A and B are shown apart, each in its own frame.
Chain A
Amino acid sequence: MGTGLKPGLGTFSVGGKTYASQLGIKRVRGDYVNIIPLSGRYMPRQGDTVIGEITDIAASYWLVDINAPYPAPLHASEVPWKVDFGDTSRFLNVEDVVLLKVLSVDEAKRIQVTMKERDLGRLRGGRTIDVSNSKVPRIIGRKGSMIGLIKEYTECRMFVGQNGRIWLDGSMDGMYLAVKAIRRIEEDAQVLGLTESIEVMLREATAKKA
């Protein structure tokens, strides 16, 4: 392409030419050309906030499904409590839902997660839904506009994990409407004027109830 850009995420380079390795949208950032994927599994990156489900438990760690190709171990040293060896089940159990941060991902794609920061922890009540992680930016919207809209109309509390898992809690009707809106965004992620059409949908649904 002769612009002197370096191959970034979602690309590979042969004979001085850069190609996309995934279906995605081209974005130039600094010296790099990146491909923002339109589909595909979530790959954890350091600093991501993720919502996980505990799938297994060992003497000194929990195994957490974070929608990635690999399960993420949460070590007893990475929770805000003092956990004695073999005492893990007193704190968290299989089928619990947790809000975590990705601490590190090494070359071999081994993932470490932590629960030791503010706002992280076990999520109680409400429900989760899984969406394609490539749709997460659309669901959050520019500067949080989309998610703000959903929260406002449905009066739900929500966390959006970068791994495509969303937690929400509110009234039954509120949660139902929020999930409907999220599914609609997922379906129409590429459509122009999405924020407006979602607002119309939310407004009509809440007006009917009132």
Chain B
Amino acid sequence: MKDVVSELLRDHIYKMAASGKRVDGRAPEEYREIKVRKGYAGNAEGSARVDLGETEVLVGVKMILGEPYPDRPKEGSIVTTMELIPMASPTFEAGPPREKAIELARVVDRGIRESKAIDLGKLCIIEGEKVWIVFIDVHVLDYGGNLFDASSFGALAALTNAVVPASKINGEDYPLEVEHHPISITATKIKDVIVFDASLDEDRVADARLTIATDENGHIRAMQKGLKGSFTLDEVDYVVKTARKLADEIRPKVVG
């Protein structure tokens, strides 16, 4: 469904941001309250329900036995899916994931994959025959802005909560080893002003978006620029520096 934002509200949000204030009273780099509840979905191998302000996502990790890819016989795999179910917003429609959900899922996936949070080699059971496939399913329950970060916090939190169901193959269940902790930070640009952790209204009027996932060493592990606007080189530098700083503050809340 088309989402019409009045020119009036668009101008107001910009004017507030331009004066260093935000509609909900936050500072430009200030995140909303983050609440992480792990182990919420009992039939999943790992799960986490994450509240980021008014946004709420539920991420479940399922571990399924499967065959490795022929070109990677010694590795398991990760599959990340995302559903923008119509429960979460009047603008989401039922049906197969469209480009927005697919982009989101791929950005979350890259953060986890590229940081080597999960060692795919350790997911191998029998070379060339049997491996664990880790499904990370992101279910958006309430859309209140900044889905990129809420989803990636949820994915990491659910992984740190996951147990490998080795009893299915006559072993003993053991916690999934999460070797790195990538935290995604998203900057949103409204005309020429940058804010972090956009609220719903800020998301609705955004011109450009830049997501940076960094690990616990401050190394960049995934990036995604989105929407039709652009960032200057100086702005990219600012966003990356700020993302590293914010990620360090947020990481303990997500990993626990």
Interface residues of A (CB under 8 A from B): 53, 55, 65, 94-97, 123-128, 172, 175-176, 179-180
Contact = CB atoms under 8 A, between A and B. Distances in A.
Interface in B146-176: none
B21 A125 contact: no
Given A176-B21, A176-B25, A95 B16 contact: no
B21 A96 contact: no
B6 A95 contact: yes
Of the listed residues A96, A124, A172, the one surrounded by the most CB atoms of chain B closer than 10 A to its CB is A172
B19 interface: yes
Contacts of B4: 53, 55, 65, 94-95
Contacts of B11: 125
Contact of B16 (A65, A172, A180): A172
Interface string B196-224: 00000000000000000000000000000
A175 B9 CA distance: 12
- Secondary structure at the A interface, as helix, strand, loop or mixed, is mixed
B7 A96 contact: yes
Interface residues of B, number: 16
A175 B23 CA distance: 9
B5 interface: yes
B15 A172 contact: yes
Interface in B1-25: 2, 4-12, 15-16, 19, 21, 23, 25
B19 A125 contact: no
Given A97-B8, A172-B16, 17 more contacts: A53-B4, A55-B4, A65-B4, A94-B4, A95-B7, A96-B7, A123-B8, A126-B8, A126-B12, A127-B12, A128-B6, A172-B15, A172-B19, A176-B16, A176-B25, A179-B23, A180-B25
Contact of A96 (B2, B6, B15, B16): B6
Contacts of B5: 95
